[in-house]
Structure 1
Amino acid sequence: MTPTIEIDDARDIFTDAPLSLRLEGGRIAWIGAPGTQPGGPPPTRRIAAGGRRIAPGFCESHLHLFWGGATLSQLNLLGIEGAAAAGQAIAGFAAANPAVPLLVAYSANYELLGPGTRPDRHALDALCPARPLLVLAVDGHAAWANTAALAAAGLMTDVPALEGAEVVRGADGRPNGELREGAAMALVLRMSVNGGRDGLAMAGDEPDRVTPEERAADKATLAAALAACAAHGITTAVNMDGNLYLADLLSEMEGEGALPIRVSTAMRLSPAHDEARIAELIAAAARPAQGKLGFGRIKMFLDGVFDTWTAYRTDDYPGRAGFRSEPLFSPERFNALCIAADARGLQIQVHCVGDGAVRMALDGYAAARAANGPRDARHRIEHIDMLHPDDLARLRDLGVIASMQPVHPPGSSGLPLEPTISIMGRARWKDTFPWAAIAGAGVPLAFGTDWPTAPLSPFGAIHAALSRAPWAADVPDQRLSFEAVMAAYTAGGAQALFAEAGRGRLAPGMAADLVLLEGDPRALREDAGACRAALTICAGEIVHEENLSC
């Protein structure tokens, strides 16, 4: 039975006004000034907030639960710079994990080993010569393997043809260690502790065979990811991984009462999928909601990232005349998939980093509207690292949700400026990560982190959104107000999920999804560590709690 909880002497995160709340039956039953609570049965639990700020629970609008959970036992290289520091971190991790079949590190910058360099197998061999090692780039769209890992995966003797991915070869015709996009990385990740099943979820593909022990381990990985979310005040996680296996795991966990927070998960459609597989995934996406677990969405990728020259853009890459990359789907097939998913009433979300990909996604959404008629579809575009000015009004007119990540701009959250800003090109800096321009045009914003490509903490992301500095004097300042950033992490996320009637605000009748904060959230502008979650409540249940002393 859901407990009745009273929270006394808190302060509203937006207005700083003192308030108290009573939570009953998983909803906010009453909210008002301290000392004015109506009479009634005593609560199951009374919490003295001691003037701490209270906010709606955070909606993390773009993350990867399975992959993120897997990284909790891997080596985090975010912020590591130079071969010496990288070698020391890898050596320590290897010593602490003597039985791991594949050493996996993640969040490595493209110039991890020094300015102007890029990892290859030879450089990694110098750091880790004997044991298989895979280092994932910070954006998750490339990785580098040492020779031992490539050999163990059979890639030193046979490199398969891949669609939308590449095992990069050196001048000698042999793999140089760089693996671009998921299908290439999966060839090595299948040797990891979980057999690469997290990567299969990212790709929308199914594992061949899973033992009961492996299934239990995968559920434990998801449970660890969800616990990490709750510890950061996240009460809704919008998951971007999508296959039938993951959907079944989450459904089992919901049936067992093992989802501490709400999860909305998508089904991933890939260019490699045939029509039967597409139909199967669309049918799975149409599953009804189950308690804290929701479906109703499909996910597609239209391009990659700038650092591997796979972001699809409307103009040529600097120094590469005539080259703009290519979309992962043909326009005809992408439009057809949009029409089919929209006809089923599904929400479509598409990874678009380059402005060419954004334009193509908008074309697909327009095709769906023309074929099926207008509706409140709230189709989403994920990332929007670059936007052509001509397409700003189209985002609004097509009713698109802009799902963006404040931690992604180079120069933020431990990311270096290079090589990304040079690959984007000086002339296009003004068109990058345009949060303020998008919000100013009336397009709804939903914020997240894309964990584990960036740290999960919403507080770090809020700091990044408030403190971002333009790269040059003629580049527009895209910062938002504190209120707008918080709204994008709460009410904006709820709106993106069609849940604004019940989530994202503190008001009577709304879901009892909230977070009590330790520290001043407005100080996040200067300090990413100025605030943290002291208490997280989802659906009226306490799912994270620190020792509150008042």
Structure 2
Amino acid sequence: MNSATPADHARPADRPGPADHPGPADHPGPADLLLTGARIHTVDPDLPEAEAMAVRDGRIVWIGADADAGPWAGPGTRVVDAAGRLVLPGFVDAHNHVRLGSDDACVQLAGARTLDAVHERVREWRTAHPDAEWIEAEAFDYSALDGGRMPTAADLDPATGDVPAIVLSYDVHTAWLNTAALRRLGVDRDHTDLPFGRAVVDPGTGEPTGFVKDFAIKGLSREGHRALRELGVPWASPDRQYGRLAKSLDDAIGYGITTVVEPQNSLDDLALFQRARAEGRLRSRVVAALFHPRGTTDADLDAFTSAAGEFSDDRLRVGPLKLYIDDVVEPRTAALLEPYAGCSHHRGDTFYPPEEFAELLTRLDARGFQCFVHATGDRGIRTVLDAVAAARAVNGPRDARHQVVHVECLDPADTPRFAELGVVACMQPRHAAPDIAGPGQAWAENVGPARWHKAWPLRSLREAGAVLALSSDWNVAEMDPMVGIHAAVTRRPLGGGEPWTAEETIDVATAVEGYTMGSAYANFLEDERGSLTVGKLADFVVLSRDIFRVAPGEIPGTVAETVVVGGEVVVDRAQ
């Protein structure tokens, strides 16, 4: 892979492309839906812009000028007048945890930037729910505690009393328990390696502090969810899981996200998507990756392959594998090449020794799996790239499209390796905004100013020929693609302010491509989605503003007024 434009890559010979689908010459006559009066940005280099588009049987059969649209209208044709508005391909969110949040039954801590603010919100929730057997909260911000320290049970107890409480961090990588929850969940000095995480202990006393690491790796696994459910944590119940999924799917289609990639699921979770489909809530298309934690067996891989065969249509597809090589920068659990700022030795750890991970990825690659690997630190990312190189040396090059997910702190020496190895950079621009990761925030302070140039290098990767697959990482950050595009273009806070690492901004067209064709290509969907091209699925969005022509600060707040999936208008705010 040596081009930054996914459309330039030849498709595998055994995958159908737009030319393989019948076009208008094969099926003359009126369209089912005709879009006119639009400024269509197609993300197709062969026809970059158009004014009108015809759809039949869920696919685009014609695209061109308004003056030529007349023959496509008939008595049964639904005509949509875009009134000059911008039309884009439906967004493909390459990393969106629609199963995780947000949960209406939880205390919402987004924006609570001090411990006092956390206490206030918890107390308000307790007052409103006096009979609750558990207090559950989400979106805790590590920066709420002074000095970069991590929270303890003693920090939480004043607001919760004797009611057990579990608080999930905004990235869902850690959990914070009060003293009552430590007792209820059986966490003590002799039980710190938990089914749902790793309890941090006080170095002086050996007692658990109340802070639990590795929640994303263990607590979100099949076994971790079962353990939490059996221990009576309401958050882990199937009904609560389904409620989060259904709500997030509604949000996704409302934002014009016509394809969602849910990056971490167990086989048990697939029933939730089946239920959503049966109940008409699966209006966005879904790609579900299956979680491959340590201990995954060959029998598990056989079951994953079977699931991929069972769920393989254009509405719900199962197949990629999700792995972790490191954790996250904020609690200093990402793997860095050099020690964390203020530390003499601590660099974080990888979950596998490099040689073992290379052997694992080589085996998975040989079986034909595509791997999404979470890697945030520069040493974690290098470990993944080294593993892909090892797999190619053993198995030979293939169109695997393995992904490094997040790419938060990338050493410049590794930037060209993405294109050289055919590895996709699956990134979340909003994470790079200064109000989330910049000066004064835990990410920037832990990495230190000398490494800020490594932060989310979107432009550098693009210029080096890497494919960018952009995404939200909901509910870590806002799901709205307009928020992500704004961050990619400005590297400014959402509410305005000074940019951070502005040398890594990209332009609007590149950001749109990353949220459409880049993410489609990253998931082997480029022959069906990602651009508005004759023969492809008719997934598109009509926006309330032309984001190419407004000031960057006006991009947030742009609304998906009309959303079409497979030729069906599923959202219509324009009427």
TM bucket normalised to smaller: 0.7 to 0.9
State the match for 2:58 in structure 1.
26
Matched, 1:84 2:116: yes
- Shifted more, 362-371 versus 6-15: the winner is 6-15
Q: 2:308, 2:364 → 1: CA distance?
A: 9
Counterpart of 2:151 in 1: which secondary structure? coil
State the match for 1:493 in structure 2.
519
Matched, 1:12 2:40: yes
Counterpart of 1:88 in 2: which secondary structure? helix
State the match for 1:533 in structure 2.
560
Q: Residue 431 of structure 1: CA displacement?
A: 1.4
Q: Residue 373 of structure 1: CA displacement?
A: 1.5
Q: Is the 8 A contact 2:491 2:501 kept in 1?
A: no
State the identity as a percent. Answer: 31
Q: Residue 55 of structure 1: CA displacement?
A: 0.6
Which structure 2 residue ranges, 5 or more long, are not aligned?
Answer: 1-30
1:148 to 180, 184, 201: 180
Show the 5 A alignment for 1:216-227. 218-227=241-250
State the match for 1:513 in structure 2.
539
Q: Which amino acid aligns with 1:492?
A: G
Q: Residue 511 of structure 1: CA displacement?
A: 1.0
Change (3 A) 1:534 1:61: same
Q: 1:317, 1:499 → 2: CA distance?
A: 39
Show the 5 A alignment for 1:182-331. 182=215, 186=219, 199-200=220-221, 215=238, 218-251=241-274, 253-254=276-277, 258-281=281-304, 284-285=307-308, 289-331=312-354
Q: Which amino acid aligns with 1:174?
A: E
Q: Residue 14 of structure 1: CA displacement?
A: 7.1
1:458 to 472, 478, 481: 481
Q: 1:511, 1:483 → 2: CA distance?
A: 21
Change (3 A) 1:524 1:281: farther
Deviations 1:351-374 (A, max 9, x none): 000111111111211122122221
TM-score using structure 1 length: 0.87
- Shifted more, 99-108 versus 370-379: the winner is 99-108
Q: 2:72, 2:296 → 1: CA distance?
A: 59
Q: Is the 8 A contact 1:136 1:142 kept in 2?
A: yes
Q: Is the 8 A contact 2:218 2:224 kept in 1?
A: no
Q: Which amino acid aligns with 1:509?
A: G
Q: Which amino acid aligns with 1:513?
A: D
State the match for 2:191 in structure 1.
159
State the match for 2:133 in structure 1.
101
Change (3 A) 1:219 1:117: closer
Q: 1:299, 1:434 → 2: CA distance?
A: 23
Q: Is the 8 A contact 2:173 2:216 kept in 1?
A: no
Change (3 A) 1:208 1:95: closer
Q: 1:521, 1:61 → 2: CA distance?
A: 21
1:172 to 190, 200, 205: 205
Deviations 1:370-403 (A, max 9, x none): 2222111111100011111221121111111100
Q: 1:133, 1:44 → 2: CA distance?
A: 56
Matched, 1:357 2:380: yes
State the match for 2:506 in structure 1.
480
CA RMSD of the aligned region, Å? 3.3
Q: Is the 8 A contact 1:21 1:32 kept in 2?
A: yes
Deviations 1:205-244 (A, max 9, x none): 899899xx96566445422221111011100101112211
Matched, 1:125 2:157: yes
Q: 2:40, 2:529 → 1: CA distance?
A: 16
Counterpart of 1:28 in 2: which secondary structure? strand
Q: 1:127, 1:214 → 2: CA distance?
A: 25
Q: Which amino acid aligns with 1:110?
A: Y
Matched, 1:47 2:103: no
Q: Residue 92 of structure 1: CA displacement?
A: 2.6
Q: Is the 8 A contact 1:137 1:143 kept in 2?
A: yes
Q: Is the 8 A contact 1:143 1:185 kept in 2?
A: no
Show the 5 A alignment for 1:434-449. 434-449=457-472
Q: Which amino acid aligns with 1:396?
A: A
Q: Residue 445 of structure 1: CA displacement?
A: 0.2
Q: 1:164, 1:243 → 2: CA distance?
A: 14
Q: Residue 96 of structure 1: CA displacement?
A: 3.5
Aligned residues: 532
Which structure 1 residue ranges, 5 or more long, are not aligned?
Answer: 187-198
Q: 1:166, 1:227 → 2: CA distance?
A: 34
Q: Is the 8 A contact 1:435 1:479 kept in 2?
A: yes
1:388 to 406, 411, 421: 411
Deviations 1:273-319 (A, max 9, x none): 35544554455456551341112211100000112221112222233
Q: Residue 435 of structure 1: CA displacement?
A: 0.6
Change (3 A) 1:42 1:207: farther
Q: 1:161, 1:217 → 2: CA distance?
A: 26
Q: Residue 476 of structure 1: CA displacement?
A: 6.3
Q: Is the 8 A contact 2:177 2:210 kept in 1?
A: yes
Q: Is the 8 A contact 1:78 1:414 kept in 2?
A: no
Q: 1:520, 1:346 → 2: CA distance?
A: 39
Q: Residue 413 of structure 1: CA displacement?
A: 5.3
Deviations 1:299-344 (A, max 9, x none): 1000001122211122222333333222102223322321222122
Q: Which amino acid aligns with 1:533?
A: A
Q: Is the 8 A contact 1:413 1:460 kept in 2?
A: no
Deviations 1:498-525 (A, max 9, x none): 1112211122222111111123324472
Q: Residue 58 of structure 1: CA displacement?
A: 0.4
